[in-house]
Chains A and B, each alone.
Chain A
């Protein structure tokens, strides 16, 4: 049985709450925004909500880094996040220039956080290989 630290349990609860918010916000925005209609303040409010959900995920990760009392686990989370950041920024940079010179099609910017979270998984795998544990928080 995995024993999680208090910070890890709090992190998982925050991720669950943020996930509910993110899904509700995405569904609401997709349902209520008419893409053909003129943009008004309500459209902008609804459109920003899913993005705030993603901010919530990042906030939960940052809080875990601050609140984790086990210094080894804290190092693992920081390392995992650095790997994720490196992958996401590298991918965004390369794709951005390929797009600039018309080699590839445009993709919406909300895919970069998705790449970050994919990188977070890669970071966990790297920790598991190098340190024998991913911190047991994923």
Chain B
């Protein structure tokens, strides 16, 4: 699954740690999601969508 996490984070000038703190997860989790190594659960995907104020499908796309 592809995602726009890195772009959205850069637009807000957030580090991976900043985003991790907002999501209540580890920096390693953010890194793994951002690099496509790990697909988040639906509840975490909703939290990510809420943090960026966008719909899940605007952030995550099929390969």
A17 vs chain B, min Cβ distance (A): 25
Please, how many residues of chain B have a CB less than 8 angstroms from a CB on the other chain?
Answer: 14
The reply to whether B32 and A131 contact each other, CB–CB distance below 8 Å, is yes
B34 vs chain A, min Cβ distance (A): 11
A13 vs chain B, min Cβ distance (A): 20
Q: In the complex, A72→B31 CA distance in Å?
A: 10
Residue of A nearest to B29 (CB): A72
Whether B15 sits at the interface, judged by CB under 8 Å, is: no
Residue of B nearest to A72 (CB): B29
Whether A99 sits at the interface, judged by CB under 8 Å, is: no
Whether A36 sits at the interface, judged by CB under 8 Å, is: no
Would you list which residues of chain A between 52 and 93 have a CB under 8 Å from chain B?
69-73, 75
The reply to whether B32 and A71 contact each other, CB–CB distance below 8 Å, is no
The reply to whether A73 and B38 contact each other, CB–CB distance below 8 Å, is no
Please, how many residues of chain A have a CB less than 8 angstroms from a CB on the other chain?
Answer: 14
Tell me the dominant secondary structure on chain A's binding face. Answer: loop
Q: A133: which of B24, B32, B41 is its contact (CB, 8 Å)?
A: B32
A26 vs chain B, min Cβ distance (A): 36
Q: In the complex, A17→B24 CA distance in Å?
A: 29
B33 vs chain A, min Cβ distance (A): 8
Chain B residues, Cβ within 8 Å of A130: 37
Residue of A nearest to B17 (CB): A3
A106 vs chain B, min Cβ distance (A): 43
B38 vs chain A, min Cβ distance (A): 5
Q: B25: which of A3, A71, A135, A136 is its contact (CB, 8 Å)?
A: A71
Q: What is the interface of chain A, defined by CB distance below 8 A to chain B?
A: 3, 5, 69-73, 75, 130-133, 135-136
The contact sample of 21 A-B pairs, CB cut-off 8 A, is A5-B26, A70-B26, A71-B40, A71-B44, A72-B26, A72-B29, A72-B32, A72-B33, A72-B38, A72-B40, A75-B38, A130-B37, A131-B28, A131-B37, A131-B38, A132-B28, A132-B37, A133-B28, A133-B32, A135-B28, A136-B28
